[in-house]
Amino acid sequence: MPALARPRQLKHYNRRQRKKYHLGEFRQLIFSIHAEAAQPLTIDQEDALIDAFIIECIEPSGMSFGGGFAHGSIFGHDQRSLDETHRTIVAKWLNVRTEFARVHVGKLTDGWYASK
């Protein structure tokens, strides 16, 4: 039922329902990343790179990271929604690193409901 809710239909949901179904002001935007290594990395090198990414980029900006550089997702701490500034921070950090040959930062999408 909530996945079909259009913006004009949100008025049919009260605040508690919008929060429960992550609609309206409670929608949570996330984005994906894909980064290809310039050279093959050992497991220790990849772990160190992921640690640096989390410590230097993700945690200071109030974000969380799931997955890996091949297919990862970025989402907000405490069910917060992300915005374009978060995408810019991540893209800048990834593009500056020489370990990556190609970097793709996905568009913001609804973290609870698939986009059509």
- Confidence category of residue 23, pLDDT binned at 50, 70, 90: confident
**In the chain, what are the domains?**
28-110 (3.30.70)
Asked if 99 contacts 41 with a C-beta cutoff of 8 angstroms, the reply is yes
| 24: alpha, beta or left? (left if phi > 0; alpha if psi -120 to 50) | left
Say if pTM beats, i.e. exceeds, 0.75.
Answer: yes
pLDDT tens digits, one per residue of 95-104: 999 999 999 9
Alpha-carbon span 38 to 45, nearest angstrom:
13
pLDDT bin (cut points 50, 70, 90) of residue 80 is confident
Cα angle: 70, vertex 53, 101; to 5 degrees: 45
Are 21 and 2 within 8 A, CB to CB?
yes
